[in-house]
Amino acid sequence: MPSNVPTVRVGILGVLTIVSYGSWFYGFGVLLDDMAADFGSGVGILTVGYTIAQILTGVLGMWVGRTLDRHGAGRPFAIGAAVGPVLVIASTFTDSPVSFAVLFGIGGGVVGASSFYHLTQTVAARLSTGSEARAIAQLTIWGAFSSPILIPLTEVMRSWVGWRDTVRVSAVVVGGVLVIAALFVDRQGVSRSVSPSASSRLALAGAWKEPLVRRYAFSSLASSFGTSIIMVLQIPAMVAGGLERSTAASMAGARGFAQLLGRLPLGRVLDRHPTRQVLVGAKLLVAGGSLLLAFSGNIGVAISFVIVGGLGIGAVSPLDGIYAREVLPAHDLGTLMGSMHFVGGFMSGFGPLVGALVIDLTGRTWSGLVLASASVVIGAITLVRMPQRARSR
């Protein structure tokens, strides 16, 4: 079957994914110690900025999704370029950790809302009529390079020019790519919905009546909860198991590269198997990877986690977007994807907190990862027994 994917425009979305996720989602942790030393504060108040960005990405994502459905992609990208990077840059000119947290958090939230997957996957799908799954898969292959490229690049820039100039340069790059996306990704306006619901409330109410949608939402949120625990605990778990911190960090970086391998074959796999079945398999890989991480006391088990967990986590992200397109009403896809991202953001933030409490209660790092595995398994099982309409898709 010939592909209708507009490669250049999806490529622009891919570059946007790399730089936007890398600008604060991945880059924040690299700069955190330098920030704390510069401000003379603890890391807690600075981390509030990251939390604000996470929450606002979801809250604003609902409005951005609605704007996409009604007006197309140009307006969200333009607003993101005009507001997000400006506030992030402003945060680097203050000497108050509180002011930094507020400005950085709001700016990062605007960047996330206007350029993360809940928006770009919907845009890529609507630009690629008849080849939606391929478009989303291609986009997430681009996105897989964000962590492997931006984490080490941020570290190099930090060592050369300091954390403030690193944040400024990153914000300028994000703003530039958002402007390019606003001008060239969807000049014909085909990314907007032809007949969106009259309001976001009606869109949500209509979708929620479907048992199929409710089960998909529960599955996605359960998996987000568990996966967030894995992402936070991957290095501490390997160190607790006896690996050197430098080795554990290398394993975590390698897992990022393994995510790419989980995305490359998806086009061929989805030609042969239903999306739901492949998504269930990917989630089970994530759950298995979490158990391997829980007991990664030697290099062999750690490598197994890198392969199994990396493949699963890498595959779940595009598959979630592809399956959402199959399950959610197409005319409100932007609004509903934004809403899922809103709730998912809270689950992703809540997961590591619960995992940490479990670890504190048990005194064992592996207990948090067993919890993570169980949560992802529940998400997979929820998809196994879907309503009849899901099976006929």
Q: What is the pLDDT of residues 186-215, one digit of tens each?
A: 988 888 887 888 888 888 888 888 888 889
What class, spelled out in words, does domain 200-391 have in CATH? mainly alpha
What pLDDT band is residue 149 in, cutting at 50, 70 and 90?
Answer: confident
CB neighbour class for 245 (10 Å; exposed up to 12, middle 13-18, buried from 19): exposed
Q: Looking at residues 1-30, what average pLDDT do you find?
A: 87
**Mean confidence (pLDDT) of the chain:** 88
Q: 349-370: per-residue pLDDT in tens?
A: 678 778 888 888 888 888 989 9
Which 3 state secondary structure label does DSSP give 334?
A: helix
Instruction: Check whether 391 has a pLDDT greater than 80.
Output: no
In this predicted structure, which of 2-6, 96-100, 229-233 has the lowest mean pLDDT? 2-6
User: Cα dist. 271→133, 153, 285 in Å?
Assistant: 10, 36, 20
Q: State the Cα–Cα distance between residues 69 and 195, nearest whole angstrom.
A: 8
Quote the distance between the C-alpha of residue 99 and its chain's center.
26
Tokens encoding 40: 């003379």
pLDDT: which is higher, 343 or 361: 361
pTM across the whole model: 0.81
Sort residue 198 into left (φ over 0), alpha (ψ -120 to 50) or beta: alpha
pLDDT at position 287 is 96
Architecture of the CATH domain 7-184: Up-down Bundle (1.20)
Q: State the Cα–Cα distance between residues 277 and 319, nearest whole angstrom.
A: 10
- Do the beta carbons of residue 334 and residue 280 sit within 8 Å? no
Tokens encoding 126: 């609507």
Q: How many other C-beta atoms lie within 10 A of the C-beta of residue 393?
A: 12
The stretches of 40-145 forming alpha helices (DSSP H) are: 43-71, 74-91, 97-113, 117-126, 132-143
Instruction: Check whether 285 has a pLDDT greater than 60.
Output: yes
Q: 68-86: per-residue pLDDT in tens?
A: 999 999 999 999 999 999 9
Q: Using alpha carbons only, what angle is made at residue 93 by residues 89 and 94, rounded to the nearest 5 degrees?
A: 120
Measured in residues, the chain has a length of 393
351-380 per-residue burial string, b: 16 or more CB within 10 A, e: under 16: bbebbbebbeeeeebbbbbbbbbebbbbbb
For the chain, what percent of residues have pLDDT higher than 90?
42
- Residue limits of CATH 1.20.1250.20 in the chain: 7-184, 200-391
- Do the beta carbons of residue 92 and residue 39 sit within 8 Å? no
